[in-house]
Every structure is written in C-alpha cells, then in structure tokens.
C-alpha cells in the first residue's frame, strides 16, 4: 500500500465528506480545488478551537496567570498549523485522486481498489503520522522560518536606512591615547587581559589582576545591626568605626568572612570615630589618589571584550562604585577630623569619577554611573552642611558637576543593549546548543521553571521565532530611542515627565499589543530591560546633577551675602547663569529655607505633583518628591 492509495482510500469513505457531501467527486472525476480550500479552513478552525478549549481548561485551574497574549499566540499558531495541515493533506489527496481518476478514464484500472486490512493496520498509522503530523510540522516550521527571516530583514533594512547602528563594534567607544585615558591604568588593563580557559584554570592571564584596587572595599557586612535594615547613606561615623574595629579583631583571630576584606590599617586604641576610620582607610590612600588623578583625564575607555556580547565581563563597574563609596566615607571622616581641604579634594575626586562611564553604551554602565552621581552628591552635601568649604572650592565643585548629562547617554545605551541582544539572537540561530545553554542561564536569572527538559526543547524552536523576536526587540528599542531624542537635544518646555510617561506607554503597548504576542517573544520578555525604570533613574540623576550645582551656588551665596537667598532667582546671574528648572515639569526648581538656617531642594518626581519636598509617603513608603541629594 502506497501513501497515495492510503489517501484515496480515506477520501473514498463517505464519512470523510459528511460536512460537505456535495463536494465528493466520482472516482473518475478530478478532485475539486474547492475541497482543498475547505480542508484548509476546516483544519485552521478545528485546531484553533481545540487549543482554545484546552487553554480555557488550563486557565480555570489553580495555575499561575498566563503571560499577556498567550491565548491569542497559541490560538493563532494552532490555526496556522491546522491550515497548513489541511492544505497539505488536500493537495496530496488531490494529486493522488487525480492520478487514479486518469487511470480509470484510460481503462488502466477497472475501479477503485481498497488496500488490505493488514496493510491498513501496519502502514496506515505510519502514513497517518507522516502525512497528518510530521509533514505539516515541517511545513509549519518552514513557514515560520521564512516569515521570521523576512520580518527581521525588513526591520534591519529599515533601521539601517535611518542611520541606526546595529553592531556593538560600531557603538563601542573609539580608542583613546593612554595618557588621556583612565581605563589605561595598568590595573584596569590587566583586569581585561583574560581569555577562555579549560577546567578550573583562571581566565585571567595574571590572576592577581582580578582584584585591582583591592583596598577599595568597605566592611559593610560588619556594620552594627540596628533592628532594621541599615540605610548606608545615613550610617554614622561611629557605626563605621565599629565595623572597622570588628573587622580587624576578626581578621586577627582568623575568622571567616572578614578574611576576604582588605587588611585595613591599625586603629589606635581609644581613637574617636573619624580617626579610627581614617586610620583604617590609610591602606587605600594610594589607590584613591591614583584614581582621583586619573579622573582628570578627558576619557575613560576600558578594554571590554565587545565581541563576547552579553557574556563580556564588566569588572570595572564595581571598582568605580566602590571608589565613590570610599571617597564619600573618607571625606566625611576628614570633615569631622577638621581637615576641610582634604575633604574637599575627596569630594572633587568623587564628582569627577562619577562621570567617567559616560561613553559606555550599556544600560548597566549608565546605572552604575547614576549610582556614582548619587554618592558624589552626598559627598558634596556633607561639606555644604558643615559650611566647610570656601567660595572658590565650591565654584570648582560646581564647574565639575556642570558637565554631568545623565540622560544624554541613554540613547547610546539603548542602542548598545539592542546590539548585544542581536548578537545573542544571531548566535542562537546558528548554534542551538548555545541556545539551550543560554536558556538555562536566563531561566535561572528570571527564576523560571526549567524542569522537564526545557533546555532540550528550546533546541527545536524555529529560527523564525528567534528572528521575529529579534525584530520586535529592535523596534521596541527604536521606539524608546525616538521618544528620548528630544530630551537629549534640549529639555522640553514641559520637562521630562511626559517623556518618561511616553516610554512607559511604549513598554505597556509592546507587552499588551499583538506585536508582542509571538512565541519567540518570551526571549524578548527576558532580554528587554524595563526601559521605564531605567529612564526614571536617568531623569532622577539629571535632577541630582542640577540640584548639586544649585546647592554649591546656594552655599556660595551664603558665604558672600551671609544667608541663603529667599528664592533661587537671587542666584542669577552671579552664581548661576539661568534660573534652575525642575527636570520633570520644566518649572522653577522647588526650594525652601529651613528654620534651622539650612535649605531644601526638590523636584516633583515621577508623579508630577509637588508634595512639599517629602521624599516618601510615611504610611505607604510610596515615592513622592525627589529631594536632594
């Protein structure tokens, strides 16, 4: 029994035509094309309905809420598969039937013949499996691959025509001369001097390079517990001094976790908190001074292995943040110790270090940069509160803060993230083993259930799904870039609040719209960062930058006039060139003098409402205004 005779036997059964008996042809007549169309539509309908019923049953159970659009996604996939199966079976039956009809008309055979029951029992299930399932699956995968490839090609061509760069090598910072590059410091050069290694061997050619500036670590784990989580920005010098003393005692006794911390300098017995901290941090003096000096260089280009995509190591980021943390603490201790000049020098170094990552086209780099800016702003605040610095020192700090442009780096960072993700999709399309390995990593990162061989099943994902997801991610990033473009060139008259809202609206639209509802877009959901959250942090850093410059100007006014001004307008034009504006609504920055003789600066924050300089709702802890710093 051949596959053709098996299909003809099935087509001869009257029950096969129960819905449309009038379409059934005579054995010597050609098979009607209308029957192929009916089979296509019927296959799509039955498959979609079967999946819809199954999903309805699953949704009614105690399972977790399905992903947005999963019902439509699976239903459309089932309809597509059913249509292809119906079309394929209709065409195959048409060809087999017409061949038999031609032989009947020519008298080669006398009439339709039925295969033996032995053949039906042995070969029938095999033909049914091959013709009714395996062949339609192959057609389905082929159709999805073509569709996904065409969509990605169209999106890529569109973006390239717009002048967009989609390769990370095109976005990476240009090389910089060593004498003008902070990243050329030997410690950083050695940190990126690594390669693949087998077994447990170190990836670094110089294993000692794994810990550059090893002294730039604080004993946070040894801070006294106060019943609730300690807020590091509010930790007192006494608590820090206690942490250093505890660390030294445990290290001397050879106890556990503290052995991974630096061996701090000896702390004199009976020393006050500021002296204890400065004594312990004396071992970090050389590292800090080298970094502060290098921060005066015009650029900071690190030896990142861009060709490794999202597997590239970024160990310098933690070093940058640690440096700002140590500078903040040392500057605060120096102020308490009465060394205002040294404290100001640390503050100036902190401000310069806070902006060294501006060229890196990665969101994580920009987020670390924003954190550094917050730390540097607190360092500046400590000196202003203490009235420790002269007018010229404050003017120097103000000039150092002025170049901060946190929001300006966002479009490049979004482009970089898109390029890195694109490298991943390119690799997964050509290497399914790597797709399975990376799926395990992504599942662990996003806490997804990866049991039951899911890491094996992803190897059979059609490449078209990956290309389709790549196209969606590229368009998602481009929509965010287009929304940010006005904010980078010049702040809109109504501030950056509407821009932030637009970015969040774009994110919601992609997650809820039909363009998101494709099976491969599970990877998009994993790889697409929460742009709304990142944009909010960037705009807050923009406000921190402006407020820090205004705070320096206010302190300069106090030194010159004897008191803080009643309004910020009094700072113009002597201490500020223009009236400072709130980045979120474009109105004058909020300012008030305090009864204690100080001042408060704040922005309306994401909600666009002036809550009187209250940073969070005391009952719900809901974020309200952005209060400096």
CB 421 within 8 A of CB 152: no
The candidate with the shortest Cα–Cα distance to 374, out of 568, 593, 551, 542, is 542
Q: What are phi and psi of 297, to 5 degrees?
A: -70, 150
Residue 183: what pLDDT? 94
CB 325 within 8 A of CB 378: no
pLDDT at 452: 42
pLDDT over 90, % of the chain? 52
User: Which whole number is the average pLDDT over 361-386?
Assistant: 96
Rounded-to-integer distance, Cα 590 and Cα 588, Å: 6
Match 């717009």 to its residue by tokens.
Answer: 162
Mean pLDDT, residues 557-579: 96
Give residue 515's pLDDT. 52
CB-based contact 450:440 (threshold 8 Å): yes
Least confident of 49-58, 200-209, 545-554: 200-209
Higher pLDDT, 227 or 353: 353
Residue 244: pLDDT band (50, 70, 90) is very high
Calculate mean pLDDT across residues 288-308. Answer: 94
Mean pLDDT in residue range 325-346: 97
Model pLDDT, residue 522: 67
Q: What is the pLDDT of residue 67?
A: 46
Q: What is the pLDDT of residues 75-130, one digit of tens each?
A: 778 888 889 988 998 899 899 889 989 988 888 887 777 777 777 888 888 888 98
CB 160 within 8 A of CB 422: no
Are the CB atoms for 377 and 548 separated by under 8 Å? yes
Amino acid 65: pLDDT = 46
Least Cα distance to 577 among 611, 547, 550 occurs for 550
> In 504-524, which positions are buried (b, 16+ CB within 10 angstroms) versus exposed (e)?
bebbeebbeeebbbbbbbbbb
Strands 626-627 and 590-593: unpaired
Could you give the CA distance from residue 324 to residue 311 in angstroms, rounded to a whole number? 26
Residue 387 scores a pLDDT above 80? yes
Q: Is it the case that residue 528 has pLDDT exceeding 80?
A: no
Residue whose C-alpha is closest to residue 329's, from 348, 304, 354, 346: 346
* CB-based contacts of 297, cutoff 8 Å, min separation 6: 179, 180, 181, 182
The total number of residues shown for the chain amounts to 629
- Segment 322-329 mean pLDDT: 96
Contact status, residue 291 vs residue 323, Cβ threshold 8 Å = yes
Rounded Cα distance, 553 and 380, in Å: 12
Is the model more confident about 73 or about 571?
571
Residue 628 predicted with pLDDT over 90? yes
pLDDT band at 10 (very low <50, low <70, confident <90, very high): confident
What are 514's two structure tokens? 């039909």
The phi and psi torsions of 590 (rounded to 5 degrees) equal -75, 135
pLDDT of residue 508: 78
Q: Per residue in 440-496, pLDDT tens?
A: 666 555 454 444 444 546 667 889 989 998 998 999 999 999 999 877 777 888 999
Q: How far apart are CA 152 and CA 132, in angstroms?
A: 30
33-59 helix and 70-106 helix, angle to the nearest 10 degrees: 150
Residue 60's pLDDT is 61
pLDDT of residue 47: 86
Phi, psi for 99 (deg, rounded to 5): -65, -40
Kindly tell me if the per-residue pLDDT of 227 is higher than 50: no
The model carries a pTM of 0.86
**Mean pLDDT, range 1-21, rounded to an integer:** 82
pLDDT of the residue at 257: 65
Q: Stretch 599-617: mean pLDDT, rounded? A: 93
For residue 266, the 8-state DSSP code is P
Q: Residue 626: helix, strand or coil by DSSP? A: strand
pLDDT at res. 70 = 59
Structure tokens at 469: 């997801």
Tell me phi and psi for residue 615, to 5 degrees. -75, -30
Kindly give, in sequence order, each residue whose CB lies less than 8 Å from that of residue 575, ignoring residues fewer than 6 positions away: 553, 554, 556, 557
Give the mean pLDDT of 392-409: 95
What percentage of the chain reaches a pLDDT higher than 70?
Answer: 87
pLDDT number for residue 228 = 45
* DSSP assigned state of 131: I
In sign, the C-alpha dihedral spanning 77, 80, 84, 87 is positive
Say if CB 356 and CB 176 are below 8 A apart. no
């Amino acid at each position: 029994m051949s596959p053709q005779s098996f299909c003809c036997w099935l087509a001869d059964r009257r029950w096969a035509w129960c819905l449309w008996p009038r379409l059934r042809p005579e054995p010597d007549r050609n098979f009607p094309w209308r029957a192929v169309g009916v089979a296509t539509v019927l296959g799509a309908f039955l498959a979609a309905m079967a999946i819809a019923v199954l999903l309805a049953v699953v949704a009614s159970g105690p399972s977790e809420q399905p992903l947005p659009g999963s019902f439509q996604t699976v239903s459309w996939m089932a309809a597509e598969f059913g249509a292809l199966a119906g079309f394929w079976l209709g065409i195959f039956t048409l060809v087999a039937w017409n061949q038999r009809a031609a032989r009947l008309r020519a008298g080669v055979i006398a009439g339709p013949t039925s295969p033996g029951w032995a053949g039906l029992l042995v070969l029938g299930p095999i033909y049914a499996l091959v013709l009714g399932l395996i062949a339609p699956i192959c057609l389905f995968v082929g159709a999805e691959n073509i569709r996904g490839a065409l969509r990605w090609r169209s999106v890529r061509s569109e973006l390239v025509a717009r002048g967009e760069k989609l390769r990370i090598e095109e976005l990476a910072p240009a090389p910089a001369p060593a004498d003008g590059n902070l990243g050329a410091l030997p410690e950083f050069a050695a940190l990126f001097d690594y390669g693949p290694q087998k077994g447990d061997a170190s990836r670094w050619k110089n294993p000692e390079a794994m810990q550059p500036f090893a002294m730039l670590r604080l004993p946070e784990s040894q801070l006294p517990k106060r019943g609730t989580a300690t807020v590091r920005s509010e930790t007192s010098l006494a608590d820090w001094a206690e942490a250093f003393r505890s660390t030294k005692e445990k290290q001397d006794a050879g106890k556990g976790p503290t052995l991974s911390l630096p061996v701090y300098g000896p702390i004199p017995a009976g020393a006050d908190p500021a002296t204890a901290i400065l004594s312990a941090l004396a071992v970090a003096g050389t590292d800090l001074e080298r970094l502060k000096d290098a921060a005066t260089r015009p650029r900071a280009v690190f030896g990142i292995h861009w060709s490794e995509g999202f597997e590239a190591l970024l160990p310098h980021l933690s070093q940058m943040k640690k440096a700002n943390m140590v500078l903040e603490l040392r500057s605060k201790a120096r102020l308490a110790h009465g060394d205002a000049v040294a404290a100001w020098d640390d503050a100036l170094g902190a401000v310069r270090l806070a902006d060294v990552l501006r060229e890196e086209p990665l969101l994580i780099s920009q987020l670390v940069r924003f954190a550094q800016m917050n730390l540097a702003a607190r360092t500046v605040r400590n000196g202003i509160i203490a009235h420790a610095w002269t007018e010229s020192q404050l003017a120097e700090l103000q000039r150092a803060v002025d170049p901060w442009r946190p929001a300006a780096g966002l479009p490049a960072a979004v482009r970089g993230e898109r390029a890195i993700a694109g490298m991943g999709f390119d690799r997964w399309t050509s290497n399914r083993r790597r797709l399975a390995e990376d799926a395990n990593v992504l599942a662990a990162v996003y806490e997804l259930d990866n049991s039951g061989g899911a890491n094996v099943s992803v190897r059979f994902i059609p490449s078209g799904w990956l290309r389709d997801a790549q196209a969606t991610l590229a368009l998602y990033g481009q929509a965010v870039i287009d929304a940010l473009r006005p904010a980078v060139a010049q702040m809109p008259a109504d501030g950056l609040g509407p821009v932030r809202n637009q970015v969040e609206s774009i994110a919601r639209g992609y997650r809820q719209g039909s363009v998101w509802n494709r099976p491969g877009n599970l990877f998009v959901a994993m790889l697409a960062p929460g742009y709304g959250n990142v944009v909010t942090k960037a705009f807050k850093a923009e406000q921190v930058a402006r407020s820090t410059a205004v705070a320096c100007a206010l302190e300069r006014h106090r030194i010159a006039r004897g008191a803080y001004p009643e309004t910020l307008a009094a700072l113009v034009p002597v201490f500020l060139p223009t009236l400072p504006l709130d980045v979120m609504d474009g109105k004058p920055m909020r300012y008030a003098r305090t009864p204690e003789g100080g001042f408060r600066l704040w922005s309306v924050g994401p909600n666009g409402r002036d809550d009187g300089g209250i940073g969070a709702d005391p009952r719900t802890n809901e974020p309200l205004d952005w209060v400096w710093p």
